[in-house]
Amino acid sequence: MGDAWGRPLRADVPVSCVLDAHVHSPILNSPAEVNEYLRELISIGLGGAVILGIPPSRDLLRGVTMDDVTREYERNRDIIQRLAAAISNELTPESLYLTAERFLDSFCQFKRHSEISALSNFELLYPVNLSLEGEELRKALDGALDRGFGGFKVISTFFFKRLDDPAVEAVLEVAEERDVPVTVHAGCDPGIWELPRFCKYGDPSRLDGPLGRHRGARVVIAHAGGYSAIAPGVFMEEALELARKYREVHADTAALPPELVEMALRDFPPGKVMYGSDYPAVAGEDPRRYLEEVFLTLESAGHPASELEDFSHGSAERVFSIECSG
């Protein structure tokens, strides 16, 4: 990583420090596994990270039958073949359902969060259970902050809820009251959520009403609205509109192809876009290679050094109130 004089991490990563605003962790069962996970993040070249959990939503998937998935797949078969022919074998109904199951089982829900939350350059966001309502939800949110979480992660797709659902607005309300950030997933998701019927739950335009009522909430729209294997960039225009309209709305670029990262940095308002990888779910890419390709693409496109510094760590430092350790 960068040294005390602020020299670049490497010639191909032309910034002093990188703070990844969007990573996940595997299930961590011991302090040794926690330490190994953090060493992996540092070895990539990161000076800090915002770590997101996956909320408990496995049971909700059982409400979707294979017939439901097959019908939606057949309805969109032509689109899949036209836009995603190279990975069409991964998008059959059976593969989509199995991918969804594995994804929900693979990532940490932070039962060992206290072993990470004590570190000044790593922030943990509480994965919100959108099945809760009213006072039960409020109690869960307040309790998470009291236990050391630095904010909230909302992923409505897994709960088959749109982003204007009352539970989502309740999260924004608590975040505004307690002055903590919220990362809101926008776009599709692995598995059945790649299909339009289920991807619609990740449409960020539905946030417009709740954001208008809670303008003080610091919100990061994950993936800049563009997460999709079939149609990368799927809701980027909707995310862009919110970032232009609301002062406290930002975006991370997790899992986007480098070309779309460059588009987001070019089009979104200055200072509102932050680097994210979605590690370890970066489509099979080596995370260090992904990092290098993103910054090489941005540098080649002519983005000035000050803009790259803000993208690599400045914006995330302001939103998440942590410091990148270079």
**pLDDT recorded at residue 6:** 41
C-alpha pair distances (Å), 105 with each of 53, 61, 189: 11, 12, 14
pLDDT band, very low/low/confident/very high, at 4 (cuts 50, 70, 90): very low
Residue 95 in tokens: 């593969």
CA–CA dist 103, 101 (Å, integer)? 5
Tens of pLDDT, residues 195-237: 999 999 999 999 999 999 999 999 999 999 999 989 999 999 9
Tens of pLDDT, residues 153-201: 999 999 999 999 999 999 999 999 999 999 999 999 999 999 999 999 9
**pLDDT recorded at residue 2:** 43
| Strand arrangement, sheet containing 19-24 | 19-24, 48-52, 122-127, 152-154, 181-184, 218-221, 249-252, 273-274
Domain ranges of the chain: 19-320
Q: At 250, give phi and psi (nearest 5°).
A: -125, -175
Helix (H) or strand (E) holding 304: none
Instruction: Provide mean pLDDT across the span 38-61.
Output: 90
Q: 48 with 319: CB under 8 angstroms?
A: no
* Cis check: omega of the bond before 26, within 30 degrees of 0: no
**β-strand partners of 49:** 20, 122
**pLDDT recorded at residue 7:** 42
Closest to 171 (Cα-Cα) out of 189, 192, 149 = 149
pLDDT band, very low/low/confident/very high, at 1 (cuts 50, 70, 90): very low
Residue 165 in tokens: 């659902």
CATH number 3.20.20.140 given to 19-320 = yes
Q: 232 with 226: CB under 8 angstroms?
A: yes
Chain centroid to CA 197: 21
CA–CA dist 182, 52 (Å, integer)? 11
What is this structure's pTM?
0.92
- The position carrying tokens 């990148």 is 324
